[in-house]
């Protein structure tokens, strides 16, 4: 087994999707929506590079970078949580999920501060096309983090009550898959909107 | 038919078909007025004919949905309807209110009708598709609430399945979003904005739940595929429909004075709206291919498959054709919209109601399926109506394309009427297709009266 | 573990997804309502305009015409008719109906008073000043 395969399949190869297929339909739809929105962003930017570059300078990149670190960390915690439940350790799974949700919560707080500053400066979705995307995409993703936390919360609650086991933990994988999607979207969104010039 | 009370669906379906005939007759009148402008003027001006045409469509589809609900909800809930008497009472109220309203449109000048029916107290009339006088609108709400009470009580006391829950949710949504028709602010932009909360959230929102539930019900019956399989796909499809369709409403907010960001939101989400329709096509064909029984009612299976295909073509493909803001800038308010509207309504809602009628009517008349001869005639009517509708759509699309070119793009743009004269040939061909459609409809009705050797009821 | 696909997960996706996107719609609507005064020309929403809208509705004008592109496609767009034709032409045109030209599309005569005609014209003027993101593409509508 070469290194790449070993990295891709730390748990041994599996050909099926983790979690419930229904969630993957949802993830597929969400990624499609975000994908098309990103394309629209690229299209709009290409037609108005100067405006986009000038407006981009007004963004708080530090806050964005911290948020990126927070979400990646939270994803790691979720990976740990799934690993624990595979070994039947419900309590440990809950703790890791709680840590992931704490990161998500911190993300939301930072994001609110960031948006608050923009709204105080009188910036709205109608200011210009760049800020339409910045606020629109940002708010849309913000809602996804909230939904992701609701899902993780529901999973954690069920795990706390002993609803999952080493043999049956599809629910944890389902929730984890959604959370990784939310993280993944941010990892594209952050460089695209905050950094790329 | 497992429960006696399911039979209340029968008068609903008969009324639906009757009003359908009226709708098509007025459609033919309008089609002719497009080319022979003074036809029937001043007895039936175009605006009156159109009001009758569109309102009859809405009312007969509602009759179809209600009939379908009264049939499938007792069967799914495994108990008799809470109150068949209430359902019959509502039938007569709705039929009489509908008939009086249509007669009012035809025989009373609209301004007079508005004055007589309290439009000065609460002005709700004179907006496209919501032309009904205030008492009719209130009547619709009362009938809908009585039906919802009746159906909800049935479901609450019986078995809860994905199909009856989705059907009920769709009907509740239908009633709730209709309430926006009572909100008519003087601010034209707000008026239009919330007008779509009725129109769009009906046809690209809650009606899709109703449609999905009806289709799933018939597919379970005619294919014998496991309920579990059909129900989970039903959930996934309607989830997709609402995920794309709710924000997809933005495609109506491009040019009516709303913020321009709707061009992005509307384009992105409505571009994805064909997905649920495509899934529905695959769903219908897959389930029929995996069938575990040969149902004797071949006509119903044909209608079900037809719904999948035509809904995808009409709502999905023809919708996508002009949904992106840069395209819609040119197509907005042209015959392209009319082309899409015709095929989408026929493919999605007309066909799903007929699917339901086609499946249930023989059962309510005491047999599993109609005779071979009757089914052959019904299938002929399917092909005549469906092919005619395809041609109506193609001719309107051609008319719309030419209209847009002449009136909106050409170096020296033509005025509206000058451009209309140029596309008259397509309007004539549309009218001929309309006549073929009418022949199909007559054949469809004939199929109910054809006797022969019938498959016995189970 | 084999790929799971359960009805309960599908149901949760349906309910969760619908509520989620409905909330997003409510959010966008909230923003729209706040931004609207910049676009909707509501500053010029006079009593005369309101009476004019009432006449527009009670004569079922939308049954033949489009207004900002919505309505029937039997007769010309009227969202920009004020700009295209001007107030006097509009009034004279309405009064002259029906033309009675054989075979041509006919508009009924609504017997509007001079005051009602003025109200209708002020409604059409108000409509023509709504910010429609540059629609229609040209003056012909």
Is C105 a member of any domain? yes
Angle, helices A170-189/A129-160, rounded to nearest 10 degrees: 160
Q: What is the model's pTM?
A: 0.95
Regarding whether C124 and C98 lie in a shared domain, the answer is: yes
Domain that holds residue C55: 40-128
Nearest to A21 among C5, C23, C38 (CB): C5
For A121, residues 6+ apart whose C-beta sits below 8 A from its C-beta are A58
Regarding whether C73 and C116 lie in a shared domain, the answer is: yes
pLDDT of residue A3: 44
pLDDT of residue B212: 97
pLDDT of residue B452: 85
**Using CB atoms, which chains have 3+ pairs under 8 A with A?**
B, C
Taking the CA of residue A23 and the nearest CA in chain C, the distance in Å comes to 7
List chain A residues with CB under 8 Å of C22: none
For residue range B269-280, what is the model confidence (pLDDT) as tens digits? Answer: 999 999 999 999
pLDDT of residue A13: 61
Do you find a cis peptide bond into B42, omega within 30 degrees of 0? yes
Regarding whether C103 and C64 lie in a shared domain, the answer is: yes
Taking the CA of residue B401 and the nearest CA in chain A, the distance in Å comes to 26
Regarding whether C97 and C85 lie in a shared domain, the answer is: yes
Nearest to B38 among C71, C103, C130 (CB): C103
The answer to whether residue A79 neighbours chain C at the CB level (below 8 Å) is no
Is C15 a member of any domain? yes
Is C135 a member of any domain? no
Outline where DSSP puts E strands in chain C. Answer: 66-67, 70-71
Is C136 a member of any domain? no
Q: Which residues of C110-133 are buried (b: 16+ CB within 10 A; e: fewer)?
A: bebeeebbbbbbbbbbbbbbbbbb
Q: How far is the CA of A104 from the CAs of A66, B190, B458, C12, in angstroms?
A: 12, 37, 58, 22
pLDDT of residue A17: 85
List chain A residues with CB under 8 Å of B265: 136
Taking the CA of residue C9 and the nearest CA in chain A, the distance in Å comes to 6
Regarding whether C114 and C60 lie in a shared domain, the answer is: yes
For residue range B412-449, what is the model confidence (pLDDT) as tens digits? Answer: 999 999 999 999 999 999 999 999 999 999 999 999 99
Structure tokens at B299: 């006509």
Q: Please give the Cα distance from A172 to A159 (Å, whole number).
A: 8
The answer to whether residue A146 neighbours chain B at the CB level (below 8 Å) is no
The answer to whether the beta carbons of residues B76 and B3 sit under 8 Å apart is: no
Q: What is the DSSP letter of C2?
A: P
Per-run averaged pLDDT (10 residues), chain B, 458 residues: 95 98 98 97 97 98 98 97 97 97 97 97 97 97 97 97 98 98 98 98 97 98 96 97 97 97 97 97 96 95 97 97 97 98 98 98 95 97 98 98 97 96 98 98 97 76
pLDDT of residue A12: 57
Q: Cβ–Cβ contacts within 10 Å for residue C101, how many? A: 10
List chain B residues with CB under 8 Å of C68: 188, 192, 255-257, 333
User: Which residue has 């919360």 as its token pair?
Assistant: A153
Q: Please give the Cα distance from B74 to B2 (Å, whole number).
A: 9
Is C133 a member of any domain? no
Tens digits of pLDDT across chain A (197 residues): 344 444 444 555 666 889 999 999 999 999 999 999 999 999 999 999 999 999 999 999 999 999 999 999 999 999 999 999 999 999 999 999 999 999 999 999 999 999 999 999 999 999 999 999 999 999 999 999 999 999 999 999 999 999 999 999 999 999 999 999 999 999 999 999 999 88
Instruction: Sort A51 into a burial class: Cβ within 10 Å, 0-12 / 13-18 / 19+.
Output: middle
Is C56 a member of any domain? yes
Q: Please give the Cα distance from A94 to A153 (Å, whole number).
A: 9
The answer to whether residue A33 neighbours chain B at the CB level (below 8 Å) is yes
pLDDT of residue A11: 53
Regarding whether C87 and C54 lie in a shared domain, the answer is: yes
Is C79 a member of any domain? yes
The answer to whether residue B257 neighbours chain A at the CB level (below 8 Å) is no
Q: Please give the Cα distance from A155 to B205 (Å, whole number).
A: 30
Regarding whether C44 and C19 lie in a shared domain, the answer is: no
Q: Please give the Cα distance from B84 to B78 (Å, whole number).
A: 15
A60: phi then psi, degrees, rounded to nearest 5: -90, 95
Q: How far is the CA of B193 from the CAs of B181, B253, C70, in angstroms?
A: 11, 7, 12
pLDDT of residue B242: 97
Query: Closest-CA residue in chain C for B237?
Result: C14
Nearest to A33 among B235, B260, B272 (CB): B272
Regarding whether C81 and C32 lie in a shared domain, the answer is: no
Regarding whether C87 and C98 lie in a shared domain, the answer is: yes
The answer to whether the beta carbons of residues C126 and C45 sit under 8 Å apart is: yes
**Using CB atoms, which chains have 3+ pairs under 8 A with C?**
A, B
pLDDT of residue C3: 63
Mapped to the 3 state alphabet, what secondary structure does chain A carry? CCHHHHHHCCCCCCCCCCCEHHHHHHHHHHHHHHHHHHHHHHHHHHCCHHHHHHHHCCCCHHHHHHHHHHHHHHHHHHHHHHHHHHCCCHHHHHHHHHHHHHHHHHHHHHHHHHHHHHHHCCCCCCCCHHHHHHHHHHHHHHHHHHHHHHHHHHHHHHHHCCCCCCCCCHHHHHHHHHHHHHHHHHHHHHHHHHHCC
List chain C residues with CB under 8 Å of B256: 68-70, 130, 132
Query: Closest-CA residue in chain B for A129?
Result: B261
pLDDT of residue C1: 41
List chain C residues with CB under 8 Å of B188: 40, 53, 67-68, 126-127, 130
Query: Closest-CA residue in chain C for A23?
Result: C13
The answer to whether residue B435 neighbours chain A at the CB level (below 8 Å) is no
Regarding whether C124 and C64 lie in a shared domain, the answer is: yes
CATH of residue C117: 1.10.760.10
* Size (chain A), residues: 197
What is the tally of structural domains in chain C?
2
List chain C residues with CB under 8 Å of A139: 27
Q: Please give the Cα distance from B201 to B265 (Å, whole number).
A: 16
Query: Closest-CA residue in chain C for B327?
Result: C137
Taking the CA of residue A150 and the nearest CA in chain C, the distance in Å comes to 10
Is C2 a member of any domain? no
Q: Which of A16, A23, A129 to mutate to test the interface with C (most CBs of C within 10 A)?
A: A23
**Does C10 contact B239 at a Cβ distance shorter than 8 Å?**
yes
Regarding whether C71 and C113 lie in a shared domain, the answer is: yes
Pick out chain C residues at pLDDT < 70: 1-3
List chain A residues with CB under 8 Å of C29: none
Q: Please give the Cα distance from B145 to B176 (Å, whole number).
A: 10
ipTM, interface predicted TM-score of the complex: 0.97
**CATH code assigned to A60-197:** 1.20.120.80
| Nearest to C44, CA basis, from C122, C114, C115, C119 | C122
CB pairs under 8 A between B and C: 226
The answer to whether the beta carbons of residues B8 and B74 sit under 8 Å apart is: no
The answer to whether residue B111 neighbours chain C at the CB level (below 8 Å) is yes
In chain A, where the domains are located: 60-197
């Amino acid at each position: 087994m070469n290194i790449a395969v070993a990295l891709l399949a730390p748990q041994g190869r599996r050909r099926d999707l983790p979690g419930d297929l229904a969630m993957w339909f949802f993830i597929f739809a969400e990624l499609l929506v975000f994908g098309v929105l990103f394309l629209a962003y690229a299209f709009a930017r290409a037609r108005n590079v100067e405006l986009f570059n000038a407006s981009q300078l007004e963004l708080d990149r530090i806050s964005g970078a911290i948020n990126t670190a927070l979400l990646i960390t939270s994803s790691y915690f979720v990976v740990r949580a799934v690993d624990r439940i595979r070994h039947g350790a419900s309590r440990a799974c809950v703790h890791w999920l709680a840590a992931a949700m704490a990161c998500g919560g911190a993300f939301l707080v930072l994001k609110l501060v960031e948006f608050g500053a923009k709204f105080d400066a009188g910036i709205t979705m109608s200011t210009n096309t760049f800020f339409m995307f910045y606020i629109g995409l940002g708010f849309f993703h913000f809602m996804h983090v909230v939904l992701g936390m609701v899902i993780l919360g529901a999973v954690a609650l069920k795990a706390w009550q002993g609803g999952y086991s080493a043999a049956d933990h599809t629910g944890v994988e389902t929730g984890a898959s959604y959370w990784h999607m939310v993280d993944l979207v941010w990892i594209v969104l952050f460089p695209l909107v905050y950094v790329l010039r | 038919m497992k429960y006696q009370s399911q039979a209340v669906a029968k008068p609903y379906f008969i009324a639906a078909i009757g009003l359908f005939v009226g709708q098509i007759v007025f459609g033919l009148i309008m089609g002719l007025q497009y080319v022979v402008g003074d036809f029937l003027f001043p007895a039936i001006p175009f605006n009156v004919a159109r009001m009758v045409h569109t309102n009859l469509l809405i009312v007969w589809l509602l009759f179809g949905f209600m009939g379908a609900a009264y049939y499938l909800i007792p069967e799914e809930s495994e108990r008799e309807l809470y109150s068949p008497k209430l359902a019959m009472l509502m039938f007569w109220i709705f039929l009489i209110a509908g008939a009086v309203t249509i007669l009012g449109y035809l025989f009373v000048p609209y301004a007079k009708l508005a004055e007589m029916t309290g439009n000065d107290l609460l002005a709700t009339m004179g907006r496209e598709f919501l032309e009904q006088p205030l008492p009719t609108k209130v009547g619709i709400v009362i009938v809908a609430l009585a039906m919802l009470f009746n159906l909800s009580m049935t479901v609450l006391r019986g078995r809860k399945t994905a199909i009856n829950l989705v059907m009920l949710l769709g009907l509740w949504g239908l009633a709730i979003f209709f309430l926006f028709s009572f909100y008519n602010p003087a601010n034209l932009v707000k008026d239009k904005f919330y007008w779509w909360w009725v129109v769009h959230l009906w046809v690209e929102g809650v009606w899709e739940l109703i449609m999905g539930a009806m289709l799933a019900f018939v597919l379970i019956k005619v294919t014998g595929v496991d309920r579990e399989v059909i129900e989970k796909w039903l959930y996934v499809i309607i989830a997709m429909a609402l995920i794309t369709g709710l924000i997809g409403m933005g495609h109506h907010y491009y040019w009516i004075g709303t913020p321009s960001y709707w061009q992005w939101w509307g384009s992105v989400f409505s571009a994805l709206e064909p997905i649920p329709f495509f899934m529905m096509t695959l769903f219908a064909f897959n389930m029929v291919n995996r069938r575990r029984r040969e149902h004797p009612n071949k006509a119903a299976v044909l209608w079900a498959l037809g719904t999948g295909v035509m809904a995808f073509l009409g709502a999905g493909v023809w919708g996508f054709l002009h949904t992106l803001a840069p395209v819609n800038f040119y197509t907005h308010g042209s015959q392209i919209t009319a082309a899409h509207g015709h095929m989408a309504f026929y493919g999605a809602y007309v066909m799903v109601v007929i699917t339901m009628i086609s499946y249930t009517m023989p059962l309510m008349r005491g047999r599993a399926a109609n005779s071979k001869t009757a089914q052959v005639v019904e299938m002929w009517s399917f092909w005549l109506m469906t092919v005619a509708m395809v041609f109506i759509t193609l001719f309107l699309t051609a008319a719309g394309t030419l209209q847009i070119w002449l009136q909106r793009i050409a170096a020296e743009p033509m005025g509206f009427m000058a451009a209309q004269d140029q596309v008259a040939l397509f309007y004539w061909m549309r009218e001929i297709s309309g006549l073929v459609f009418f022949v199909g409809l007559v054949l469809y009705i004939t199929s109910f009266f054809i006797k022969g050797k019938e498959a016995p009821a189970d | 573990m084999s790929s799971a696909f359960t009805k309960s997960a599908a149901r949760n996706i349906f309910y969760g997804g619908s509520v989620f996107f409905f909330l997003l719609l409510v959010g966008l609507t909230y923003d729209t309502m706040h931004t609207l005064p910049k676009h909707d020309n509501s500053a010029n929403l006079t009593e005369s305009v309101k009476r004019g809208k009432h006449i527009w509705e009670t004569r079922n004008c939308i049954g033949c015409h489009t207004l900002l592109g919505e309505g029937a496609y039997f007769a010309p767009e009227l969202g920009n008719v004020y700009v295209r034709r001007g107030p006097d032409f509009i009034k004279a045109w309405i009064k002259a109906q029906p033309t009675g030209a054989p075979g041509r599309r006919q508009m009924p005569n609504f017997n509007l008073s001079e005051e009602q005609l003025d109200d209708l014209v002020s409604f059409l003027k108000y409509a023509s000043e709504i910010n429609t993101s540059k629609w229609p593409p040209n003056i012909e509508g």
